[in-house]
Amino acid sequence: MQSLFSASFENKQFEKHSELSLIRKNLESIDKQIEESAPQFPIAKIAKLDAAILRVAKELRLAHPDLAHELAVVNRLTNAGMARDEALRGLWKRTGVLDIRALVSSLIQSEKWGTSIATVLRVAAETLRRKRRQDAEKRAKMAPLKMTFPLLFFILPALFAVILGPAVVQIIQEFSKI
């Protein structure tokens, strides 16, 4: 009976772990997609934010399906009567991506204070582009460090064996004649 209980427990732990890894992959996917789709934000110069969200969701459907789905959910919720700020906060809560949180809070403040949504989206897109560029520069700076150890342990020994191998064989043959 105990083995049946432990097997059931292990199965539930495995399911929980697989769900967490799936959620983590989804979050990473949406995080990458929000950065890649930043140029689409300024397209939303339409007066109504709902129409802008729907348009961006339709345009991103093929390239970034996860983000497009989440934006479509926001649009459906606002069409169903939920307040726009609640629907946008729900977007952030569902995804958990910090970039979306910043975008959502900017949109809510823009709507609250009556500022231009197009300006907010343009600034958000520029911020995401800058962040993406900085991340790429950071990864580029780390590349030589990450290549050092494989170079030292795998490539250089093989190179020395190819270059010095014939010389070592010849030296051994000369010493064996003595």
The tens digit of pLDDT for each residue in 102-127 reads 888 888 888 888 887 778 888 888 88
- Higher confidence at residue 14 or residue 77? 77
Q: 145-153: which pairs have CB atoms within 8 A and are 24 or more residues apart?
A: none
pLDDT of the residue at 137: 94
Whether the pLDDT of residue 165 is over 60: the answer is yes
Domain that holds residue 126: 2-147
* Mean pLDDT estimate for the chain: 78
pLDDT band at 47 (very low <50, low <70, confident <90, very high): very low
Spatial contact of 87 and 54, defined as CB atoms under 8 Å apart: no
Residue identified by tokens 């949504």 is: 117
Selection from 83, 86, 74 nearest residue 44 by Cα: 74
Q: Is 85 part of any domain?
A: yes
Q: Is 46 part of any domain?
A: yes
The answer for residues whose C-beta is within 8 angstroms of residue 118's C-beta and 6 or more apart is 42, 44, 45
Average pLDDT over residues 147-161: 88
Whether the pLDDT of residue 9 is over 50: the answer is no
Whether the pLDDT of residue 178 is over 70: the answer is yes
Average pLDDT over residues 93-104: 85
Q: Is 135 part of any domain?
A: yes
Q: Is 173 part of any domain?
A: no
Structural domain count, the chain: 1
Q: Is 168 part of any domain?
A: no
Whether the pLDDT of residue 135 is over 70: the answer is yes
Q: Is 167 part of any domain?
A: no
Q: Is 159 part of any domain?
A: no
